[in-house]
Amino acid sequence: MKLLIIGANGMLGGSLHRYFSSDAGYQVMGSVRSLQAADRIKIMGFNNIYCQVEASKPPSIITALSSFKPDYVLNCVGIIKQLSVSDSPVSSIKINSLFPHELAEICSEYKAKLIHFSTDCVFSGETGYYQESDIPDARDIYGKSKLLGEVDYGGHLTLRTSIIGHEIDSPISLIGWFLSQKNSINGYDKAIFSGFPTVYVAEFLDRYVFNGENISGLYHFSSDPISKHELLKIVNEKYSLGINIQRNIEFKIDRSLNSNLLRKELSFTPPSWNELVDKMHREFLEYFV
């Protein structure tokens, strides 16, 4: 099976690229925009990279697909909420909204199936445990742009989820930030999370999607909900960090997703959070220490 991973230097794309490149059952190519990004991946031992492939330049995407002829294309490109550019309507709409549909058209032309990743941020977080049938109510540019980019047609697949993990570049996400702390931090007991470590996203695709199950459309892909406070406590213990986490009950947000539809469709049961953090920690020790 041939996989093309668009955005192989990002947190999600990097995990998928490392996981599947290490499995002889897959032929894998990753794509990045710059030679510098490719070099950072090569340092980890992976040379299967296309350079100068840009979401803003569809011809570069076409060149990669026509050359490699993948069975699946995994879109891991996106302007994420932690970046200041996510407040820019033009940039966010180009990459998060328009590009996934351009990519879907290209994939259809080259007989490849697109797997696109959306976000729990299409919801405001006021109620939580959202189903696919619930009406998205994002209020910021990021959430709205990701909603517009969801591809639920043409035999392609969009997974709404949220992720944690380790970054090749600057550590701006939750886990990278947490590992950089030295003293006390707040752990938000009323901030509810139901995503996955990126390495488990790869394991899920390997076990449940690339095994012949032909699912398409839009699905919620979620773990059992956990508070950010409890999640960081588990990470603190598994990574032996010794950080003082102070319980905070004032900030409240619940973007947890109900994934019963996907669980029933694939007979899928997510691992416990102790198991999930174990998997993330093993990836950290293998590639980031």
Please state the domain extents for the chain: 2-169+196-225+255-272
Give SS3 for 239. Answer: coil
Rounded to the nearest 5°, which phi and psi values hold at 81? -65, -30
Q: How far apart are CA 118 and CA 18, in angstroms?
A: 21
Find out whether 196 and 268 touch, Cβ atoms under 8 Å.
no
Assign domain 2-169+196-225+255-272 to a CATH class. alpha beta
Identify any residues that bridge with 248 across adjacent strands, giving them in sequence order: 188
The continuous run of DSSP H or E covering 53 comes out as none
- Per-residue model confidence (pLDDT) at position 85: 66
- Per-residue model confidence (pLDDT) at position 69: 98
In the chain (289 residues long), the average pLDDT of successive 10-residue segments reads: 98 98 98 95 96 94 98 95 73 96 98 98 98 97 97 99 93 92 94 99 98 92 99 98 97 98 97 99 97
- Per-residue model confidence (pLDDT) at position 198: 99
- Per-residue model confidence (pLDDT) at position 84: 63
Rounded to the nearest 5°, which phi and psi values hold at 209? -110, -40
- Per-residue model confidence (pLDDT) at position 212: 77
The CA distances from residue 214 to 72, 79, 195, 203, 209, in Å, are 12, 29, 23, 17, 7
Find out whether 11 and 287 touch, Cβ atoms under 8 Å.
no
Axis crossing angle, helix 58-68 with helix 99-109, rounded to the nearest 10: 30
Q: Which residue has the tokens 């909204």?
A: 97
Q: How far apart are CA 235 and CA 161, in angstroms?
A: 20
